[in-house]
Amino acid sequence: MKRIALFYILLITVCPAFAQNYDESKVPHYTLPDVLKTTSGKAIKSEEKWEKLRRPEVLKLFEDHIYGQMPTEYDSIRYALTEDDGAEMNGRAVLKQVGITVFRKGKSVLINLVLFVPSQAKKPVPVFLLINNRGKENTDPTRAKKSEFWPAEMVVDSGFAIAAFHVSDLAPDNKDTYATGVLQKLYPEQLKKDNGMKAIGAWAWGASRVMDYFQTDKDIDSKKVIVVGHSRGGKTSLWAAAQDRRFAACVTNCSGNTGAALARRQYGERISRINASFPHWFNNNYKKYNDKENALPVDQHMLIALIAPRPVYATNASKDLWADPKGTFLALKAAEPVYALYGIKPELPKDAPGIDKPVIGHRFGYHNREGEHNMTSYDWANFIRFTKGF
């Protein structure tokens, strides 16, 4: 037993990548990259200049250094729809299951979408789309199994449609097999590039193909699609919303490192650790920033800024220090100057709110739920409040 303890002490001493900091007093002094200054030093003072000069530059920086390129062209897309009478929810909603097949150069990928649409709806409804990174039973179309992770009944009763697809349809969440989906089948050239997309890029790409489908579904208001993800899925929902401006809003739940939390705080999970545990999530270039957070030309507030002026809701859980709750709040706060260019006044308080004290504005939502790393009906109830006036 003692030997094991000694081993860990040694490991922490000799291998800084394993020594994650949870002590606020040890957060290093850092300066965030100025989201409103171009790489060549030009100050950005208007929405127009942000849109024209700085936004494309920031998007490219995230592409090149972190998430990889996002191919948008394919040859064709086909939707195979089965619809039923809604017995799964006693008639409260109609179940649509859609096989979305995307073709490129003779090969294809199939995304299975589960979608419940409230049957009482008189006009096209807004929809929450979950990028599901957990078990498929969480989004059980038969409703034999119900899960707080995707509380379909609650969402439908609030007047929204709810949808989900599973990340494994795009790229298995595994360092040895992640390339066997979209990457090898549709975009093999991406595998050869240091800024090529990997698993998180492939999942985000999948969300955009579901968006393609929503634009054809008369029951759905495709101008009101809220992309939702938890943890690795929450990193993906941010990237999807940053890339694809058709998403009207983004929910990023407990997304932590390389999600909504600032990297430069070096609190909880760090880049070196995430790259070691999940080398298949981010592009090759990102590995250069192991233990070198300050060398990155971006930080995560800039990813949130790419979503401006659309609404973003970020969450944390009080026991999930790994995902750095304070660093998440600060990232949202540091994105506000970009929202201000669109005439949106700052909505967030100066300091992070207490546990279970949601801050719900028009463009920003934030809460730190009591409890563990998870997505629960408490979280969903707040997402619904946030998007209710949509």
Enzyme catalytic residues: 231, 373
What whole-number distance in Å separates Cα of residue 38 and Cα of residue 30? 19
Q: What is the DSSP letter of 52?
A: I
What are φ and ψ of residue 342, in 5° steps?
-95, 10
Token pair belonging to 365: 């939502």
Q: In what order do the strands lie in the sheet with 161-166?
A: 76-83, 93-104, 107-118, 161-166, 125-132, 220-230, 249-253, 312-317, 364-369, 359-360
- Hey, which residues between 212 and 231 contact ligand GTR (CB under 6 A)? 231
- Hey, which residues between 234 and 263 contact ligand GTR (CB under 6 A)? 256-257
Nearer CB in complex with ligand GTR: 115/317: 317
Nearest approach, Cβ of residue 269 and ligand GTR (Å): 5
User: Which part of the chain contacts ligand GTR (CB under 6 A), choosing from 105-113, 150-158, 269-277, 357-365?
Assistant: 269-277
Integer angstrom CA distances of residue 184 from 188, 197, 204, 311: 5, 11, 16, 34
Considering the rule CB under 6 A, would residue 269 count as an interface residue with ligand GTR? yes
Strand partners, 132: 166
Nearest approach, Cβ of residue 372 and ligand GTR (Å): 11
Nearest approach, Cβ of residue 135 and ligand GTR (Å): 12
Nearer CB in complex with ligand GTR: 173/336: 173
Considering the rule CB under 6 A, would residue 232 count as an interface residue with ligand GTR? yes
Nearest approach, Cβ of residue 242 and ligand GTR (Å): 17
Evaluate whether 110 touches 100 at the Cβ level (below 8 Å): yes
What are φ and ψ of residue 369, in 5° steps?
-75, 145
Nearer CB in complex with ligand GTR: 207/274: 274
Considering the rule CB under 6 A, would residue 88 count as an interface residue with ligand GTR? no
- Hey, which residues between 114 and 143 contact ligand GTR (CB under 6 A)? 133
Residue numbers at the binding site for ligand GTR (CB under 6 A): 133, 231-232, 256-257, 269, 274, 277
